[in-house]
Amino acid sequence: MSAIPEQNNKINQKKESAEKKAVKKRIKPKYILLILITALLIYICFLFLHEPDYVPKAWESYDIRNRSEGFESITPVSEMHTIDISPYSNPETVVYHDGYLYASVDESKIIRIKEDGSDLKKLLSTDGKILGFEVDDEDTIWFTDVYHSGVYRADSANHYQIETVVSGAPLNYPDAICLSKDQSKIYISDATVVKVKEEKNGAVNASNTDLLAHTMSGRVYCYDLNTKELTEIASGFSFCNGIQLSEDEKYLYVNETSGNRIWKVNIQNKDKKIFLDALPGFPDNMSERGEGIYWTGFASPENVTYTSLSNKVLLRKVILNLPYHLRNILMNTGDSTTTFFAFNEEGEILYYVNTDQFNYGTTTGIIQVNSRLYIHHLNGSQCIGYIDLQN
């Protein structure tokens, strides 16, 4: 008879165990949901309360009514051709010298190719990120490396062995350079104080961080190759980019990418004034054709989302606290539009292209060789596009 109570106890224990399991199954999803909600609330608090490395500043976005005259008329373009540069891609800066096109491409390389697409050759590379460069009369390449915060040179006579010209503080994000005619001075745009090495994916994320934070920390320097002195010419730019000297070399034209404008800086007294305002895009590289004519590429057309956030500091702070990939998706300014323009020293717009017929966007710059325009870009393709001028 003693076996019956034992069996009853076992049955009861099994029932209790089954009931406990059933309760746990009901409670477990509730705990998981509670944990998820708590984590989400903590993350939201982080987004709103955490101070990002670069605290965003409010600024007054441009007024389209102040747009320089000339952009209301778009120059028609019939067709575009390309020069294959594979396996290299993204010729961000292109320079013409002595029958060759030189280009800074992905993986921090500078290549050279003839206009007919022959004789493609890699000339040099670094373990950093090459941005702007120029080639002088002696075939020496002068270039910036943003990862190493410096300006460097490579002489063709010395098999393009790289030598340091100037590096380190106060330079942080050396972007574009411009040589004086006598090649005794180098003008350098130092885009921002945002540290490239602290930003994942380097230069791209650093520029996007500055775009959001609007640090107004860009500076322009002059480095004297004779005295080895680095002198600040102007400051307070929102990501200063392409630069070029005026014909008389008394002034410096400076692309302010995040400000959608171009400045004219007096080199002697360091005064600066807005030269072209409320541009319909983000000006990137600048090149000189000669005779006081300059070309500038728009890395992308104007961004309504970006300008609408000008006085919304808290919202930009939240975006800056997001992971990089989400931040870049929200602030993606690239598209397939090919857009660039030419201007002269009187501030007249001579030529303005804005078209999506070529699917060739992120136009970082233009160089003119005779009647042909070569287009710099960051659209991922392995080619250099060109357009022949109609007149």
Same domain, 3 and 121: no
Segment 100-130, tens digit of pLDDT: 999 999 999 999 999 999 999 999 999 999 9
Same domain, 89 and 44: no
Q: Percent of the chain scored above 70 by pLDDT?
A: 90
Same domain, 18 and 151: no
pLDDT at 345: 96
Q: What pTM did the predictor assign?
A: 0.87
Segment 332-367, tens digit of pLDDT: 655 788 999 999 999 999 999 999 888 898 999 999
Q: Percent of the chain scored above 90 by pLDDT?
A: 59
pLDDT at 83: 97
Between CA 368 and CA 375 the distance in angstroms is: 9
User: How much is the mean pLDDT over the chain?
Assistant: 88
Same domain, 36 and 118: no
Q: Where does residue 106 rank: exposed (0-12), middle (13-18), buried (19+ CB within 10 A)?
A: middle
Q: Which domain holds residue 136?
A: 58-388
Same domain, 43 and 9: yes
CATH number of the CATH domain containing 320: 2.120.10.30
Task: Label residue 254 by pLDDT band (50, 70, 90).
Answer: very high
pLDDT at 284: 95
pLDDT at 330: 73
Structure tokens at 301: 């057309």
Same domain, 203 and 170: yes
pLDDT at 245: 97
Sign of the Cα pseudo-torsion (272, 240, 166, 172, in order) = positive
pLDDT at 246: 97
Contacts of residue 275, Cβ cutoff 8 Å, sequence gap at least 6: 253, 261, 262, 263, 264, 347
Choice between 71 and 244, residue whose per-residue pLDDT is larger: 244
Same domain, 37 and 119: no
The predicted model gives 203-222 an average pLDDT of 90
Same domain, 369 and 235: yes
pLDDT at 50: 86
pLDDT at 8: 55
Nearest alpha-carbon partner for 378 in 269, 284, 296: 284
Number of domains in the chain: 2
**pLDDT of 135 over the 80 cut:** yes
Same domain, 30 and 97: no
Same domain, 375 and 280: yes
The predicted model gives 222-248 an average pLDDT of 96
Residue 324: DSSP 8-state: H
Task: Label residue 6 by pLDDT band (50, 70, 90).
Answer: low
pLDDT at 149: 93
Task: Label residue 68 by pLDDT band (50, 70, 90).
Answer: confident
Task: Label residue 196 by pLDDT band (50, 70, 90).
Answer: confident
Same domain, 169 and 295: yes
The predicted model gives 180-186 an average pLDDT of 94
End-to-end CA distance of the chain: 114
pLDDT at 331: 67
Contacts of residue 283, Cβ cutoff 8 Å, sequence gap at least 6: 241, 242, 255, 256, 257, 260, 261, 262, 296, 297, 298, 299
374 φ, ψ to 5°?
-100, 135
Segment 287-312, tens digit of pLDDT: 999 899 999 999 988 877 778 888 89
pLDDT at 22: 56
Same domain, 282 and 320: yes
pLDDT at 305: 76
